[in-house]
Amino acid sequence: MTTTLSTRDETLPTTYSQALEALSLGPLWTALHQLLPNERQTQAVPHRWRWHDLRPLLLEAARLVPIEQAERRVLVLENPGLKGRYAITATLFAGLQIILPREAAPSHHHTPAALRLVVEGRGAYTTVDGVKCAMEPGDLIITPPMRWHDHGHEGSEPVVWLDGLDIPLVRALEASWASRMRPARPPATETDSSQDEFTAAGLVPRRSRYADTGYPQVRWPWAAPRGALAAMAAAAPAGQPVALRYVNPKTGAPPLATMGCECQWLRPGEVTPASRSTASAVYHVIEGRGESRIGDAVLAWEPGDTFVAPPWHVVAHTNPAPSAPACLFQFNDEPVLRSLGLWQEESLP
């Protein structure tokens, strides 16, 4: 996307090439096969960030950088193949954010969509358009485009979460914009709709007590998907992956137009079927230890680790534990590829 292609045809007379350049013209024939490669190409590479390495650096950031200065105290997970682009894949951003007790990260809104998956600590919250969303380990909170949001902390220990945004995609569309920050206001509600309106699958409220924003649910407390995964795992035939998609409970659509979210339960000894797709995904380990094959890389993981699967890389997960399950969360750009007619998936033997 940012790679400069060579369009100069060295076999042409110099005067002709200069005449083209002077008129902002270039031959297509020298670049055609770079624009349309016969093999799928990605600059992003498979990579894993260890919680063990990141945690002390996050705590140090909290000592070194006041929240007033940082506004968002985030360490960016930068794909080694996409240096300088603030991107974990060509379309997705990921970072780990830390907030300390009594800190307040001011309010803003922006065109990119965001999601948060809580990694560690209790007592923090995100306010999304006035709705107070508690942040406990494993909880998912979404911040749809142009919704005001801020973060606060009423607990007693540092809280860390994984931020996922579609910033690289929105920047490619030259549609990235944010409001100026303003001080956070007290939340308008003490709870979010996951606590009283979306507590059971297959049931939606006749009438909501929350404002109708098009995003009826903005928080998924981890207990619900974990319980659902455990029930599925107990009944699913061996060999059938146990995975759930997070959806907008009123439409069944992905929670955000640009990003899909899933959680997966790996039974003891399970090896998932290998597959690849045109989407890219960022995985986060909620529970358990195992390893994943991502293309030619084999990445071992444990709780708190984050790893990335670029497009069209074969993905297979293994939980080698004799008795403990493992739980992976992932977010991806699948909704974008699907809506553009670019989604393709392949199972491998």
Q: Which spans of this chain sit near ligand 1HN (rule: CB under 6 A)?
A: 72, 74, 93, 95, 97, 114, 149, 163, 165, 167
Query: Which of 72, 122, 132 is CA-nearest to residue 97?
Result: 72
Q: Which is nearer to ligand 1HN, 74 or 133 (CB)?
A: 74
- Spell 109-145 as b/e; 16+ CB within 10 A means b: bbbbbbbbbbbbbbbbbbbbbebbbbbbbbbbbbbbb
Dihedral of alpha carbons 61, 62, 67, 72, sign: positive
Which residue's CB comes closest to ligand 1HN?
Answer: 163
How near is the Cβ of 273 to ligand 1HN at its closest, in Å? 34
Question: Residue 76 Cβ, how far from ligand 1HN at the closest point, in Å?
Answer: 8
Task: Give CA separation, 58 vs 61, 95, 115, 159, in Å.
Answer: 5, 11, 19, 10
Tokens of 90: 């060509």
Nearest to ligand 1HN of 131, 242 (CB atom): 131
| Number of residues written out for the chain | 349
Q: Measured from the CB of residue 169, what is the shortest distance to ligand 1HN in angstroms?
A: 13
Count the Cβ atoms, other than its own, within 10 Å of residue 296: 9
CB of 135 to ligand 1HN, least distance (A): 11
Cβ closest to ligand 1HN, residue 93 vs residue 301: 93
Query: CA 119, CA 51: separation in Å to the nearest integer?
Result: 9
Strand partners, 182: 107
Give residues with Cβ within 8 angstroms of 202, minimum separation 6.
Answer: none
Choice between 74 and 263, CB closer to ligand 1HN: 74
Shortest Å, Cβ 97 to ligand 1HN: 6
**Min dist. Cβ of residue 109 to ligand 1HN (A):** 9
Q: Which is nearer to ligand 1HN, 171 or 276 (CB)?
A: 171
Task: Measure CA 250 to chain center.
Answer: 22
Q: Closer to ligand 1HN at the Cβ: 114 or 242?
A: 114
The distance of closest approach from Cβ of residue 223 to ligand 1HN in the complex, given in angstroms and rounded to an integer, is 23
Question: Measured from the CB atom, is 116 or 276 closer to ligand 1HN?
Answer: 116
What is the Cα–Cα distance from 172 to 170, expressed in whole angstroms? 5
